[in-house]
Structure 1
Amino acid sequence: MVNIKINGIEYAVEEGTTILEACRQNGIRIPTLCWLKDINAIGACRICVVEMTGARSLVASCVYPLSKFDEGKNILTHSPAVLQSRKMTLQLLLSDHNMDCLACSRNGSCELQELCKELGVDDTTFFEGEKNEYDIDYSSKHMFRDNNKCIHCRRCIAACDKLQGIGVIGANNRGFKTSIDCAFDLDLAETACVSCGQCITACPTGALAEKDDTDKVWDALADPEKVVVVQTAPAVRASLGEAFGYPMGTPVEGKMVAALRRLGFNAVFDTNFGADLTIMEESHEFLDRVTNGGVLPMITSCSPGWIRFCEAYFPEFIPNLSSCKSPQQMNGAITKTYWAKKMGIDPKNIVSVSVMPCTAKKFEIGREDQSAAGVPDVDISITTRELVKMINRAGLRFRDLPDEVADSPLGNGTGAAVIFGATGGVMEAALRTAVWKLTGEAADSPVEFKDVRGVEGIKTAEYKVGDLTVKVAVVSGLANAKKFLTQVKNGEVECHFIEIMACPGGCVNGGGQVIQPADVRNFTDIRAERAKALYSLDDANKLRKSHESPDVKEVYENFLGEPGSHIAHEILHTSYKASHLSK
């Protein structure tokens, strides 16, 4: 332990603890901009500076580990010199910043804006002089980049490189001309970006944002010739409430459904139904591969960011991918085939909207082989954040809404479906049904497979199922996927079934979820808190296995036949091909 003083008060902290963490542990918040725990400790922004006994200058608290040499030293966290330094740093950042706050996607949730308010930055001290101007990069399908709002914190670089192992963005040029760009100043669409959106959730300002497709939804809702349906992903209900003051990890499924109805959608469906269909098809596909000598390990295909990563970085694993469409696409496909026929509606007159925790879904809806009825399975995909905008624009008082349920049959799902949003959820749901199929023990077959739960980036487990020993793995975060697949390729790991999610922790931590500031994400495990919401919904559901769903049974009996049938393949399965950017 190291004995120190913070603002004249004595504390004992563990050696190696940074000043910033030591202060946090003792109830003192030091503001930060560039620091993201574990991935971006670079001390670059100088917002977190403090005064310290014996130091010749102000110290960046995020990168200063306390040692025995600091015994007895006093740390000042808000002295006049510290506050003036932080204020001047913000003034300098603003001197080369686009001040178009009212039109910014992050207005009201911008960390730079909040710090300026906190430190009283209300003047234009350094506004005169040269200013950089950049063209906005709209090239990508899922997001845009506006370097006029970039503060060079490098948090996006860390997310892309260290979390996802991709590294398609970095610092170009030097000094005042430094910009965060792609190599050779390429547009983002010209790189092997996988559309995961983790850079957006890492960004403290509006320099990075998803493309806003809410106007397309409003236009569709206003068109009397269109039947506009919406589906919501499992993870959305675990994050949406945060935007309306609910504690993190509060499931708000009922109010979400009520809000969507009041926005004007003709039918409110649940992607959980598509998730149950996915399990029916995926478990059948897995058992078919195991028993008939198919390509193993089989790898899940629910995450479009992971699929794009595979096609660009590991094309040799394309034969291993499950041919199942994602739950979003399955729900859209069933909507425009089975439901359209049942309701007597021309699929061309249906506008299928999805609300997703994922920016890569904006890319996925335009992929080839995703048009079961001859028209796109899903027409518009919006993020959780975009749904928040729509609810606010419509003047809905979210917390005052009643709890309602989605429309049958495509609005019903089992507990197995809802846990899709957490890493390990797809694997657990698949195991629940696969074990039942292999053993036939409908009543006694296991429900919970807790070995595959948790936020660890790589998890492995082994299960004895009948005469088979099934080795499974669960991976989240593409840097972990790169590491694990390399081990598989080199023969260092043996697996039969692998779940891979692009975003660390799974969809609950998706690039389209409600953004939490660094003050929260650095000290709270957002992934675990949101996952708790999904597991609580699973626990409360009377039906916890996909094959138990009466609505899924009805679709197979009256339309699809059986899992793996010809018509099921035509509607619920897809294909992949190596990216032109693959090595």
Structure 2
Amino acid sequence: MSFLIEVNNKKLEAQEGELLLETLNRNGIKVPTLCHLKNSLPSGACRMCVVENKKSGKLITACSHPSEQGMNILTHSPRVIESRKTIVELLLSNHPDDCLYCVRNRNCELQTLADELQVRERKIRGKKNNYNIDRSSASIVRDPDKCILCGRCVRVCQDMMGVTAIDFINRGSCSVIGTSFNRGLNTSSCVNCGQCIMVCPTGALSEKNHFGEIQDALANPEKTVVIQYAPAISVSIAEEFNMEAGKDLNGILNSALRKIGFDRIFDTTFSADLTIMEESAELIDRITTGGVMPLITSCCPAWIKYAEEFYPELIPNISSCKSPQQMLGAVIKSYWAESEGIKPENIYSVSIMPCTAKKFEAQREEMTQHGITDVDAVITTRELADFIRMMGVDMHHIEPEQADSPHGFMSSAGKLFGASGGVMEAAIRTAYFKITGKELAELKIPEVRGFIGRKEAKVKIGELEIGVAVVNGLANATKLLDEIKAGRNDIHFIEIMACPGGCINGGGQHIG
């Protein structure tokens, strides 16, 4: 049911059950927020979204107050603007004055609000915190001095990921967000997914940077520097350069990486195809020989860490395949090194991933053979964009090129890995061909596609009927895994991706 409310002396249509902030945004009225998270319960903690209720004379939070029939609201009255400005001034009173050196410079919500609200001088001087920067994690850097206690990271870690690695500590002016006993992030249950970075409005959370090591390798004449990039990268990098969102820049990216100085450019979609072949064979083998069921995918390192932390009893269910990143890393330093006559120790292998957990995965002890790591450095989509700018490559004025052979070839199935359901669909296609000797009549499997947090389907492959499930967002995985532990046995194959929607919304993607 719809009804009318009055906003800034004009009638607007509101929907029953809609929050005031949603009504205003839908009608083209921008109200600033800092603590608000879409698809999450409102908290109203930051008070940035206050609007003036003309009937009561009170300031109310638009993010947590429902739209009500007969409302009369002012969204940008002098009183409202002054209230928002005061909040920003208070937040800045103890905030570090190092915007020029901050990883979020020019892409910081606090900085943007200060600019929009015309905060041009420091009126309030608060006591600086001087907390230690936490660099203990292989993936994520925490700088508590830049934290404004909005609580977004806490909520995304608890509600979306089901991990609760961080929470509020202490009370009042002593409050801080940290881990249990306020120790390093590496001692916590953190799965390195990076979703906290994606929602952080400031530079309090960022990915660990590997630029220095990569530059040293590029400048070393004794090193052959090889780079691979995930399927999601070529379709997400465009946003960083103000190009059409979702445009596939595969060829342009190859050209840019060559101009930077990488000796070989490979596409991780190649090893995604290898993963499909291995995982589909493993699925068929487990079904036909009575192996441990259900089979669960192993592509997502955040999911693997989550399983180790919370579901160690299900580790035998997880596929024995390495992730595509690690699989190609191993191939580069074994098969490719031998075919090119290059010693593995003289190869510096870099990967570009939409995921911060890949940084953690690359440095795992299991990913090192005879003292040589499969992958030496991992950079995210954001870091790639910064690296391209730093190296002076103009993405708008270069011609597309092919990736290097033989690890630049790919199938359409491998390209699906970037989205939730992609691994499942690719594996089912391949398993179908292996069992029946025929291609699927319809390559698309709509039941496993889309951004819904949990999807289930029954798939007919020859005489076999296979129950499959696709989950994105680890909190959704928890419910399904608990059902499996309780004895549910009609699911044979499960795809789990930690990030909502899959790798395309990974913790290393574009912020903005």
| TM-score, scaled to structure 2 | 0.98
Q: Provide Cα deviations, 1:127-177, integer angstroms capped at 9, x if missing partner.
A: 2x4232211111111111101000110000011000000111111111111
Q: What is the SS of the residue equivalent to 1:249?
A: coil
Distance across 2 between alignment mates of 1:510 and 1:32: 23
Moved over 6 A (4+): none
Query: 1:379 matched to which residue of 2?
Result: 376
Contact 1:432 1:446 (C-alpha < 8 Å) held by counterparts: no
1:244 alignment partner, one of 234, 238, 241? 241
The one-letter amino acid of 1:97's match is H
Query: 2:487 matched to which residue of 1?
Result: 491
Judged with a 3 Å threshold, the aligned counterparts in structure 2 of structure 1 residues 354 and 156 are, in CA distance, closer, same or farther, namely same
The one-letter amino acid of 2:341's match is G
In the TM superposition, 1:205-220 aligns within 5 A as 205-220=202-217
Q: Provide Cα deviations, 1:488-521, integer angstroms capped at 9, x if missing partner.
A: 11124621000001111100010111112xxxxx
Distance across 2 between alignment mates of 1:462 and 1:373: 43
Query: 2:468 matched to which residue of 1?
Result: 472
Residue 262 (1) aligns with residue 259 (2): yes
Higher normalized contact order (CA 8 Å, seq sep 6+, divided by chain length): 1
Query: 2:153 matched to which residue of 1?
Result: 156
Contact 2:226 2:262 (C-alpha < 8 Å) held by counterparts: yes
Aligned-pair CA distance for 1:372: 5.2
Distance across 2 between alignment mates of 1:276 and 1:343: 22
**Taking every aligned residue pair, what percent have the same amino acid on both sides?**
51
Q: Provide Cα deviations, 1:106-136, integer angstroms capped at 9, x if missing partner.
A: 0111111111111111111002x42322111
Distance across 1 between alignment mates of 2:95 and 2:229: 36
Contact 2:164 2:189 (C-alpha < 8 Å) held by counterparts: no
In the TM superposition, 1:253-402 aligns within 5 A as 253-371=250-368, 375-402=372-399
Distance across 2 between alignment mates of 1:495 and 1:46: 46
Contact 2:8 2:73 (C-alpha < 8 Å) held by counterparts: yes
The one-letter amino acid of 2:385's match is V
Residue 92 (1) aligns with residue 90 (2): yes
Query: 1:548 matched to which residue of 2?
Result: none
Q: What is the SS of the residue equivalent to 2:366?
A: coil
**Higher mean C-alpha displacement, 36-45 vs 118-127:** 36-45
Residue 447 (1) aligns with residue 443 (2): yes
Contact 1:2 1:66 (C-alpha < 8 Å) held by counterparts: no
Distance across 2 between alignment mates of 1:170 and 1:280: 42
The one-letter amino acid of 2:21's match is L
Distance across 2 between alignment mates of 1:27 and 1:369: 52
Query: 1:120 matched to which residue of 2?
Result: 118
The one-letter amino acid of 2:84's match is R
Aligned-pair CA distance for 1:6: 1.1
Distance across 2 between alignment mates of 1:474 and 1:391: 35
The one-letter amino acid of 1:240's match is I
Distance across 2 between alignment mates of 1:133 and 1:223: 38
**Higher mean C-alpha displacement, 151-160 vs 365-374:** 365-374
1:504 alignment partner, one of 494, 500, 505? 500
Distance across 1 between alignment mates of 2:349 and 2:320: 22
Distance across 2 between alignment mates of 1:370 and 1:207: 30
In the TM superposition, 1:405-420 aligns within 5 A as 405-420=402-417
| TM-score, scaled to structure 1 | 0.86
Q: What is the SS of the residue equivalent to 1:391?
A: helix
Q: What is the SS of the residue equivalent to 1:216?
A: helix
Instruction: Name stretches of at least 5 consecutive residues in structure 2 with no aligned partner.
Output: none
Distance across 2 between alignment mates of 1:269 and 1:181: 39
Aligned-pair CA distance for 1:370: 2.0
1:180 alignment partner, one of 151, 154, 177? 177
Q: Provide Cα deviations, 1:200-228, integer angstroms capped at 9, x if missing partner.
A: 11101000000111111111101000000
Aligned-pair CA distance for 1:264: 0.3
Residue 230 (1) aligns with residue 227 (2): yes
Query: 2:9 matched to which residue of 1?
Result: 8
Distance across 1 between alignment mates of 2:83 and 2:115: 15
Aligned residues: 511
Query: 1:577 matched to which residue of 2?
Result: none
The one-letter amino acid of 2:85's match is K
CA RMSD, Structure 1 to Structure 2 (Å): 1.3
